[in-house]
Structure 1
Amino acid sequence: MPTPHGSRGGMAFSADELRVLRRALEAALQSSSTRPTPEDVQDCLRLAEAVEEASREGGRLRTFLFAELARYRAALPGSSAGYLERLRGALDTGYVPGPDDLAALRMLRAQPCGAIEQRRRLGLLHRCEQLAELDVRARLEARIPAPAGPVRPRLLALPGGRSGEPAKGKPGADPKRKVPTPGEIWPRRRPDSPPAPQDPPKPPPPEEEQRATG
């Protein structure tokens, strides 16, 4: 039966289990016309069940390690050495530090210790802060729904089409002319000009005047 190996979900297989895996891979790579023997099928089924059980055992082991980490964290500051060691191991298995871990690391950083240990604690604090920030960003991105389709930029129509020339208005219309004012619609009436002076009557010639008196 495979056994969990390490805290990262690894598994250790025996020689017989490796032979079963080799035969299963060979059967998968061969053509579909070649059918495995009943013995090979039974061996693959037993191995699959053993791998599933080993996976569950690895999950139980990680749960135990995380619970132990919480116990050491609750016993701080006296258990600082054991807590830091277990925290590094948990981070290697994919553990995401929480607010309690960040608060504990900040508290340990403020505790007096040697220069080398101070640098180790500071480096571990920075690592946990980065992992916690990445986890928060991932959860926020998962809550935001993705767009249904690709977002395309909106295109604005230019006057005149592709030529880029300004659009032509109606014939005879001045595009620069503004709205007419009331004075332009109803022009102001001009006063009537006075009548032109008439010329005085001319006197009759002398002959006509004598005839009139004679």
Structure 2
Amino acid sequence: MAFSADELRVLRRALAVALHPTPLSDEDVRECLRLAESVDEAVFEAGRLHAFLLADLTRYRAALPGSLTGYLELLQDALAAGYDPCPDDLAALRALRGTPVVAAVLERCRSLAEQSVRARLQRRTAPAPRARLLALPGGRAADERDPDAKPEPRPQPRPAPTRPEEPTPGERPVPKPSEVFPPRRRPAPPPEERAAG
């Protein structure tokens, strides 16, 4: 992304105000807002261009080997823009590595893919920053801080409330499972009809 001389002047002014806050004139505020809109628009267009480039690369890769020249040009442009080659790119290049150009692009893609995998693994296995441990009141630390302090008595656990046998007036008794779900009775077998013989 390139800035014009006027945009650089506005950017310098905005950075100076961020470092040393001072009141801005209305014109300076308008210029900063215009610059922010321009940057947002450029970022949006860069994202659209990146998506278009990847879609084009996928189309050319699907049309291989007939589209080899265009595919190699698009792939090299994408790599220069920071594209990480995917397994489909590596497989396509392996299948077509008869020419020196394809072999060179394949080697470059292999090294970029390895770097990308190593970076992802390093991010996953990097130890998380250790949290500071705070001393909680009590324990050995409290004894070391104040040797004359008496330990606070621990609260005794309360016994679980027991349900009385007789329900209190106004309270409905809890039904027994056999009252809620009465046992099923089997139907009587139909009487056998005897054939006269």
C-alpha spacing 1:141/1:16, structure 2 compared with 1 (3 Å): closer
**TM-score, normalised to structure 2's length?**
0.59
Question: Residues 155-199 of structure 1, C-alpha deviation per residue, up to 9 Å, x if partnerless?
Answer: xxxxxxxxxxxxxxxxxxxxxxxxxxxxxxxxxxxxxxxxxxxxx
Question: Residues 60-111 of structure 1, C-alpha deviation per residue, up to 9 Å, x if partnerless?
Answer: 101101110111111110110000011000000110001110111111113x
Paired AA for residue 85 in structure 1: E
**TM-score, normalised to structure 1's length?**
0.54
CA distance in 1, matches of 2:118, 2:5: 44
Equivalent residue, structure 2, for 1:159: none
CA distance in 2, matches of 1:95, 1:145: 24
Equivalent residue, structure 1, for 2:31: 43
TM-superposed deviation, 1:130: 0.9
TM-superposed deviation, 1:43: 1.3
CA distance in 1, matches of 2:11, 2:95: 50
Look up the SS of the partner of 1:109 in the other structure.
coil
Look up the SS of the partner of 2:79 in the other structure.
helix
CA distance in 2, matches of 1:145, 1:18: 38
TM-superposed deviation, 1:126: 0.8
Paired AA for residue 26 in structure 2: P
Question: Residues 139-170 of structure 1, C-alpha deviation per residue, up to 9 Å, x if partnerless?
Answer: 22222251655xxxxxxxxxxxxxxxxxxxxx
Aligned length: 130
Q: 2:10 aligns with which of 20, 44, 49?
A: 20
TM-superposed deviation, 1:14: 4.2
2:55 is the alignment partner of 1:67: yes
Paired AA for residue 103 in structure 1: A
Equivalent residue, structure 1, for 2:119: 138
Q: 2:86 aligns with which of 49, 74, 98?
A: 98
Q: CA RMSD in A?
A: 2.1
Give runs of ≥4 in structure 1 deviating > 4 Å: none
Equivalent residue, structure 2, for 1:123: 104
C-alpha spacing 1:13/1:142, structure 2 compared with 1 (3 Å): closer
CA distance in 1, matches of 2:17, 2:76: 42
CA distance in 2, matches of 1:41, 1:147: 41
Q: Which runs of 5+ in 2 are unaligned?
A: 131-197
